[in-house]
Amino acid sequence: MTDSLILEVADFEHDVLTGIYSEETGKPQPLRITIRARMQVADRYDPDTPLEASKNYMDLKFAASDALPEGVHFKLIEAVADHICETLFVQDRRVEAVTVKIVKLAIAEANEKIGITLHRERK
């Protein structure tokens, strides 16, 4: 069995310019975003292991918020997820794969979760 390290930020909510319908365009809509990043794993993590041996969890949150270009309208939430993946790959060569789940909160009628999950492996 191979060791793995998965960093995760779950159920982070952020407003993003996205959508294809007239009622969606021109104003940000709330998305619930979960990001999982598979990292290269160290041989061992001792109590005094420095942060540089892993990755700051806040980098995942940054990829889904501040790293999204301001004023850019993403027609598809798939494009939002793709941008998050690419941001994490550029940030850190140790990121091997990223999974992004996005739920569009504004279109739920009965508390259902409507959205996508995109998984990308480093090329």
pLDDT (tens digit per residue) in 60-102: 999 999 999 999 999 999 999 999 999 999 999 999 999 999 9
Cβ(62)–Cβ(90) under 8 Å?
A: no
- Say how many domains are in the chain: 1
Q: Which ranges in the chain belong to alpha helices (H)?
A: 58-63, 77-91
* Mean pLDDT rounded to a whole number for the chain: 94
CATH number at 33 reads: 3.30.1130.10
HSE-CB at 123 with a 13 A cutoff on CA atoms is 3
**Cross-strand pairs, 117:** 101
Q: How far apart are CA 45 and CA 10, in angstroms?
A: 23
- Tell me the residue range of the domain where 75 lies: 5-43+52-121
pTM (predicted TM-score): 0.92
120: Cβ–Cβ under 8 A, 6 or more apart, which residues?
82, 85, 89, 97, 98, 99
